[in-house]
Amino acid sequence: MDHKAVQQKWQKAWEDEKIFEVKESKTKNKFYVLEMYPYPSGSGLHMGHAKNYTLGDASARFKRMQGYNVLYPMGYDSFGLPAENAAIKDNTHPRAYTEKSIANFIRQQKELGLSYDWSRTLASHRPDYYRWDQWIFLELYKKGLAYKKTAIVNWCSTCQTVLANEQVVNGACWRHEDTPIDNKELNQWFIKITAYADQLLSGLEKLDWPEDIKQMQKNWIGKSNGVDIHFALEGIDTLLPAYTTRCDTIYSVTFLCIAPEHPLAIELSKGTSHEAEVRQAIEQSRKQSLIERTTETGQDKIGAFTGKYAINPVNGERLPIYVANFVLMYGTGIVMADAHDQRDFEFARKYNIPLKFVISDDGSPINPEKASCAFLSDGVLFDSGDWTGMHNRQALPEMAEWIEKNGWGKQTVNYKLRDWLISRQRYWGCPIPMVYCDSCGIVSVPEKELPVLLPEDVTFGSGNPLATNRNFVETSCPSCKKPARRETDTMDTFMDSSWYFLRYCDPHNDKKPFAKAKVDYWLPIDHYIGGKEHATGHLIYSRFITKFLKDLGMHSIDEPAKRLFNQGMLHKDGVVMSKSKGHYVLPEEVSEKYGIDTARFYLFFVAGPEKDMEWSDQGIEGAFRFMKKFTEFLPETFTSKTDPKEESVRNKTIRDVTSYYESSTFNKALIELASFTDFLRNKGSFSKKSAETLILLMSPITPHISEELWEKIGKKPFCSLAKWPTFDETKIKPELEAEDDFAEKVRQDMLTLNTLIKFKPKSHTLIISAAWKYDFYKKLKEELAKTRDMKTLITSCMVKGHESEIAPLVAAVLKDPSRLPDFILSQATEKKALNTLLPKLEKEFDSHITITFAEQSQDKKAANAMPGKVAIVAHE
RNA sequence: GCGGGGGUGGCAGAGUGGUCAAAUGCGCAAGGUUGAGGGCCUUGUUCCUUAGUGGAUGCGCGAGUUCGAACCUCGUCCCCCGCACCA
């Protein structure tokens, strides 16, 4: 078969006939398959990408054939820094660079035979898409969920822009692991994702997502229950709230700590003799890079006394207030400190602050002077007023109630999740539709003026590129019409990707982002394929925006993706395939040599799709050998009758392969299909039905060859749209298959047995058989009964779940010597059980015989060579 | 430290209480075919023993449960991946 010609023929036919284009249907059930839309890099696709897309394609094709109305679109995450940098480097415009890259991507993807509905393709850098980014931003702004504030933010000096928390990895930029994040104080746009923290957390439970991803999101959201305890500032009428999850240790508090970033840190010390020290401590901890501050290596405690005291509301004790570097601006930015926390303990030791314990294993006091470390475990409270003697975990919720009731504090829930910083000081992104007016302040661009177009003409190199285009910057205030300035920052591209899957449902709508009915029909995504690296980024943002748009009444969907699938990475030379690092295989090359279907087959065959796998040139040779068999499996003519065995294998193959496809375990499906192919080829002549079945079952993986063969057997195109074969369970007869000659063997075994048994017609015979050979066991018993009195038969079938029956049986035999068997009939499979039994039995009588049936032997040749197929071993 | 996932034959990778010396593919070996040692087909591929049967060892390591464990329980070692001074 000429792979190249076949591929081109069918790819063209699919495209000409637009067979993968879909629309909403009242009668068909929908199925939405999606791969995370790619960033269209200029270097194009390698085999690793191909693996990802064919994974979605196989699912889409499978579901389509099962009769679902399958939405399977593709688009491009085409804004972003890499395009800007690449364009600067090649001295071209990011738009030209991006459009070219997209065209190249599409060409390559079509060559993979992917069954996308190309009529829905979108790209986030195009105004017809990003105008709705701006629209969503304005909706967020209207609802108070988009706001501008000055804050200490993450700055990457290589990217020359700020980053969201989600884009900081180990204290460094997600794109530059060697560029530590700088802390800068800037005025930036934030999205209030924290307003949805609780929903984002509880929504996880319903999702059919990998456990580790759910866990990562849980940790990222980081919900904790605690109490804000109000400590009065001594001498001043101010309350300092300190967040704690351990209010059971309130009696052990000996000082308070405040984060260096906290506005009060400096304020408190002002005018005291400690001001200089405090300033120095703040300065020092600021100098510590985020890496030092959050990793084990740089956990030196730095701090200073502010000169002020607070009052413990519970017992009126005076507590010195310290600035401490280990306290983060989380919760209230103030913590109460005691001997039941290792960090507090270390800090106290360093600055000679007294400590107090209130929990010990048995409630007996601990001398703080002698303690060498904090007491972190749970135990019994002491020196804790009325709570003394109680177990701390039991006391904790009650104490929280008690504190709140007395007005000393308030029970609070805290999250680690922070608001999403979306401002970027770069050009190639969606403009933030805001205007700064000297008289009106921050004014939003009216909806009818959207989109705020990204200007073509900017100068790169010094600061924010958009600021270099005066025509863009200089505008008039939408409110008072006086001269005003446009926002020159662009949006984080994660904003673009947080709703693109909704736009696919209605990609050409120019009145609104999408029609509600269409989204309600297609969503949620039934099978979302993408990498783990998006666990705490895109996958949280998109859930958030989906929920927000639902609250706006835009659609009725709770969660964007019902099932998430993390594909494994394709490796080359032991490392993840990557063009920039030079470890890659190109789909074109493989396609040229073996045909793309071979590559698709190989990618699915080696391992489960969720596993990382190594590309192997020998491996693809093996796949090619199979593909050759497959392309040549059709006989000259088909048999008119189907024989039961063939039907059995065919139905079983449909059943198993369908269930493997259903669970995306393609590797096992392909093993079944390979063995079905071998079965048919060995058989030589078979029915047309079997041929059809094989072609159809293969077609999600090898669509081009399947189409070709489908045509060859006289079927109308397209097999891609043909009905998925169904199976009839009643036609599946295992005994006809692998064990098809089993019955015959058993019969012969019986004859041999009969002769054997005739020698001692009055002795007992013990039969042990296993449940999965129940039919065999029954037959054996019947046969023996013909030659022997039933009383002389002692039998047992180890039914599953009743395996231990064999023990009482043996016990019964041993108890009654008259029932001692002189034959033990068994099968090879029970030899392990027998091995444990034989020694027991051997003690009781002189000899016995074990008979093993040869059909259990793996070696068919040996079995056939054996007359009677029974082997006898006599034990002395 | 916390959380999640793993350790199976020369390699990749199935198998999660008995049809298991362990699917399938690669590799390796032998035989067949063909003017080659390339392609294809067949068989074999832990060790000992056999004409065939059989036995021993064996799924990271150690113990346990069971008539029976790659699979269950406990302990232990190692690897990967997240989070990490979050009070």
Shortest-distance nucleotide from A806 CA to C1': B67
Shortest-distance nucleotide from A861 CA to C1': B52
Give mean pLDDT, residues A827-837. 43
CA A634 vs CA A65, A124, A713, A727: distances in Å = 22, 47, 8, 22
Phi-psi region of A385 (alpha: psi -120 to 50; beta: other; left: phi over 0): left
CB-to-strand B under 7 Å, chain A 57-86: none
Banded pLDDT at A725 (limits 50, 70, 90): very high
Q: Which two tokens stand for residue A502?
A: 């909704």
Where would I find the H helices in A788-851? 806-815, 831-842
Start-to-end CA distance of chain A, whole Å, equals: 65
Q: Which two tokens stand for residue A73?
A: 């679109």
What pLDDT, in 10s, does the model give residues A569-600? 888 887 888 887 788 899 998 998 899 999 99
Asked if the Cβ of residue A570 lies within 7 A of any atom of strand B, the reply is no
Shortest-distance nucleotide from A296 CA to C1': B85
E strand map for A192-333:
224-233, 239-244, 255-258, 303-311, 318-324
For residue A515, what pLDDT is reported?
97
Backbone angles phi, psi at A45, to 5 degrees: -95, 145
Distance of A366 CA from B30 C1′ (whole Å): 78
Q: Which residues of A748-766 are buried (b: 16+ CB within 10 A; e: fewer)?
A: bbbebbeebbeeeeeebbb
Banded pLDDT at A523 (limits 50, 70, 90): very high
The SS3 assignment for A642 reads coil
Shortest-distance nucleotide from A827 CA to C1': B19
Q: What is the pTM of this model?
A: 0.84
Asked if the Cβ of residue A814 lies within 7 A of any atom of strand B, the reply is no
What pLDDT, in 10s, does the model give residues A268-298? 888 889 888 889 888 888 766 555 554 444 5
Give mean pLDDT, residues A184-200. 92
Question: How does strand A527-530 pair with strand A564-566?
Answer: parallel
Distance of A840 CA from B53 C1′ (whole Å): 24
What pLDDT, in 10s, does the model give residues A377-433? 888 999 999 999 998 888 999 999 999 999 999 999 989 998 999 999 999 999 999
From the list A726, A750, A751, A746, the residue with the least C-alpha distance to A735 is A746
Asked if the Cβ of residue A185 lies within 7 A of any atom of strand B, the reply is no
Question: How does strand A239-244 pair with strand A318-324?
Answer: unpaired
CB-to-strand B under 7 Å, chain A 113-152: none
For residue A235, what pLDDT is reported?
82
C-beta separation of A600 from A633 below 8 A: no
From the list A107, A95, A871, A34, the residue with the least C-alpha distance to A500 is A34
The SS3 assignment for A180 reads strand
Report d(CA A874, CA A847) in Å as an integer.
8
Asked if the Cβ of residue A333 lies within 7 A of any atom of strand B, the reply is yes
Asked if the Cβ of residue A735 lies within 7 A of any atom of strand B, the reply is no
Distance of A819 CA from B73 C1′ (whole Å): 38
Where would I find the H helices in A180-274? 197-202, 211-221, 263-269
- Angle, nearest 10°, between helix axes A587-594 and A47-65? 60
C-beta separation of A767 from A774 below 8 A: no
Asked if the Cβ of residue A798 lies within 7 A of any atom of strand B, the reply is yes
Residues 6+ away with beta carbon under 8 Å from A470: none
Rg for chain A (alpha carbons), in Å?
Answer: 37
Shortest-distance nucleotide from A831 CA to C1': B68
Report d(CA A23, CA A757) in Å as an integer.
73
Banded pLDDT at A737 (limits 50, 70, 90): low
Share of chain A above pLDDT 90, in %: 51
Residues 6+ away with beta carbon under 8 Å from A610: A565, A566, A567, A568, A664
Distance of A861 CA from B33 C1′ (whole Å): 22
Question: How does strand A255-258 pair with strand A318-324?
Answer: parallel
Banded pLDDT at A267 (limits 50, 70, 90): confident
Give mean pLDDT, residues A466-491. 94
Asked if the Cβ of residue A566 lies within 7 A of any atom of strand B, the reply is no
Give the residue with greater pLDDT, A806 vs A795. A795
Distance of A177 CA from B1 C1′ (whole Å): 24
The answer, yes or no, to whether residue A827 has pLDDT greater than 50, is no
C-beta separation of A813 from A841 below 8 A: yes
Q: Which two tokens stand for residue A40?
A: 């269209």
Q: Give the position of tokens 């029909």.
A: A521
Shortest-distance nucleotide from A771 CA to C1': B18
CB-to-strand B under 7 Å, chain A 516-535: 532, 535
Residue nearest to nucleotide B44 (CA to C1'): A859
Shortest-distance nucleotide from A626 CA to C1': B25
Q: Which nucleotides of B are covered by protein (CB under 7 A)?
A: 3-5, 12-15, 18-19, 21-27, 39-41, 43-44, 52-56, 66-68, 81-87
Give mean pLDDT, residues A827-831. 40
For residue A734, what pLDDT is reported?
64
The SS3 assignment for A63 reads helix
For residue A252, what pLDDT is reported?
93
Length of chain A: 876
For residue A342, what pLDDT is reported?
86
CA A578 vs CA A41, A353, A402: distances in Å = 12, 55, 59
Report d(CA A849, CA A423) in Å as an integer.
85
For residue A69, what pLDDT is reported?
97
Asked if the Cβ of residue A850 lies within 7 A of any atom of strand B, the reply is no
Residues 6+ away with beta carbon under 8 Å from A576: A48, A569, A570, A583, A612
Banded pLDDT at A789 (limits 50, 70, 90): low
Asked if the Cβ of residue A614 lies within 7 A of any atom of strand B, the reply is yes
Report d(CA A713, CA A670) in Å as an integer.
22
Asked if the Cβ of residue A222 lies within 7 A of any atom of strand B, the reply is yes
What pLDDT, in 10s, does the model give residues A102-129? 999 999 999 999 999 999 999 999 999 9
Distance of A446 CA from B86 C1′ (whole Å): 40
Asked if the Cβ of residue A228 lies within 7 A of any atom of strand B, the reply is no
Asked if the Cβ of residue A857 lies within 7 A of any atom of strand B, the reply is yes
Asked if the Cβ of residue A610 lies within 7 A of any atom of strand B, the reply is no
Banded pLDDT at A265 (limits 50, 70, 90): confident
Report d(CA A231, CA A221) in Å as an integer.
28
Give the residue with greater pLDDT, A829 vs A470. A470
pLDDT averaged over chain A? Answer: 83
The answer, yes or no, to whether residue A797 has pLDDT greater than 80, is no
From the list A672, A669, A665, the residue with the least C-alpha distance to A610 is A665
Give mean pLDDT, residues A819-848. 45
Backbone angles phi, psi at A190, to 5 degrees: -125, 150
| Side chain identity at residue A588, one-letter code | E
For residue A681, what pLDDT is reported?
85
Distance of A233 CA from B28 C1′ (whole Å): 80
Asked if the Cβ of residue A607 lies within 7 A of any atom of strand B, the reply is yes
**Partners of A578 in the β-ladder:** A583
Write the DSSP assignment of A647-715 as a string of letters: HHHHHHHHHHHHHHHHTT-HHHHHHHHHHHHHHHHHH---BHHHHHHHHHHHTTTSHHHHHHHHHHTTP
Distance of A615 CA from B17 C1′ (whole Å): 36
Distance of A536 CA from B7 C1′ (whole Å): 28
Residue nearest to nucleotide B66 (CA to C1'): A804
Distance of A261 CA from B81 C1′ (whole Å): 32
From the list A670, A675, A693, A683, the residue with the least C-alpha distance to A635 is A683
What pLDDT, in 10s, does the model give residues A648-660? 889 989 999 999 9
The answer, yes or no, to whether residue A750 has pLDDT greater than 50, is no
Q: What is the DSSP letter of A115?
A: -
Give mean pLDDT, residues A857-872. 32
CB-to-strand B under 7 Å, chain A 742-761: none
Q: Which two tokens stand for residue A200?
A: 């984002």
CB-to-strand B under 7 Å, chain A 619-638: 619, 621-623, 625-626, 629
Give mean pLDDT, residues A302-312. 91
